[in-house]
Chain A
Amino acid sequence: AQKVTQAQTEISVVEKEDVTLDCVYETRDTTYYLFWYKQPPSGELVFLIRRNSFDEQNEISGRYSWNFQKSTSSFNFTITASQVVDSAVYFCALRNTGRRALTFGSGTRLQVQP
């Protein structure tokens, strides 16, 4: 069985603050992929990043960065200098070789106040 846990239900920050969204996963597979999606009020899930289980190198893309730690089964997402447009629900998801569909966490709602 596989599971994704996002313990933070809602986070509120003021613009320009840094914010980290936590994601913890469970899987018995040795080969798997982790994803982050953003869901703005329009409802469409927007792909942000994909990371495979063999690549623990952290990644930075503009104001976004991801910290993958296999030892703690975590794949955390940090937004630096947050902006109002970052307000959305963020989902962490897992896919393994046995089950090709994504298993999503329950999401973290981020509110960035001006």
Chain B
Amino acid sequence: EAGVAQSPRYKIIEKRQSVAFWCNPISGHATLYWYQQILGQGPKLLIQFQNNGVVDDSQLPKDRFSAERLKGVDSTLKIQPAKLEDSAVYLCASSLAQQVESEAFFGQGTRLTVV
């Protein structure tokens, strides 16, 4: 079974530029998550989708971050404009359902460096 695919693996941009990350979840997984993992910390949820609807975006900095999941499959996360503090690994995860016991499967992440 193919895992969660993310691209690019690495990205370096200057502050105030924009950037986009792409995620392809495991086939059939209705729930998709984007997490931000700052160096030395645990992942923090940015947004959760159930199919193509947003379930939780309470911690998404909406003035600069946006995400969409068209057709309930692939998802993109965008940052515009980027700040230095956005340097982090952005992890995409998916799960079969949003039941509390459903385990989430993670991609390898995109490491963003803002200079």
CB within 8 Å of B: which residues of A?
4, 6, 31-33, 35, 37, 42-47, 50, 52, 91, 93, 95-97, 99-107
B14 within 8 A of A: no
What string of 1s and 0s marks CB contacts (under 8 Å) between B51-73 and chain A? 00001100000000000000000
Task: Name the contact of B43 in the complex, choosing from A32, A45, A95, A99 (C-beta under 8 A).
Answer: A45
Q: B79-107 CB contact bits vs A (8 Å, 1 = yes)?
A: 00000000001010100001011011111
Among A95, A101, A107, the residue within 8 A (CB) of B42 is A107
Given contacts A91-B42, A102-B45, A107-B42, contact A44 B100 (CB under 8 A): no
Residues of B that sit less than 8 Å from A by CB: 3, 31, 33, 40-45, 48, 55-56, 89, 91, 93, 98, 100-101, 103-109, 111
In angstroms, Cα B37 to Cα A43, docked, is 10
A96 CA to B101 CA, complexed, in Å: 9
- Please indicate the chain B residues that have their CB under 8 angstroms from the CB of A107 in the complex: 40-42
Given A44-B107, A44-B109, A100-B55, decide whether A33 and B100 contact each other with a Cβ distance below 8 A.
yes
Give Cα A43 to B109, complex, Å.
7
CB distance from B25 to the nearest CB of A (A): 14
A106 touches B98 (CB 8 A): no
CB of A32 within 8 A of CB of B100, answer: yes
User: Please, could you name 16 A-B residue pairs with CB atoms under 8 Å apart, sorted by A?
Assistant: A6-B42, A31-B100, A33-B101, A35-B103, A44-B107, A45-B93, A45-B106, A46-B106, A47-B103, A50-B101, A91-B42, A99-B56, A100-B56, A106-B41, A106-B42, A107-B42
**Nearest chain A CB to B35 CB, angstrom units:** 8
Task: Provide the bound-state CA to CA distance between A102 and B103, in Å.
Answer: 9
Tell me, rounded to whole Å, the shortest Cβ–Cβ distance linking B112 to chain A. 13
Expressed in whole angstroms, the minimum distance between the Cβ of B36 and any Cβ of chain A is 11
- Cα separation A32 to B109 with both chains bound (whole Å): 27
Give the distance in Å from the alpha carbon of A37 to the alpha carbon of B106 in the complex. 10
CB distance from B88 to the nearest CB of A (A): 12
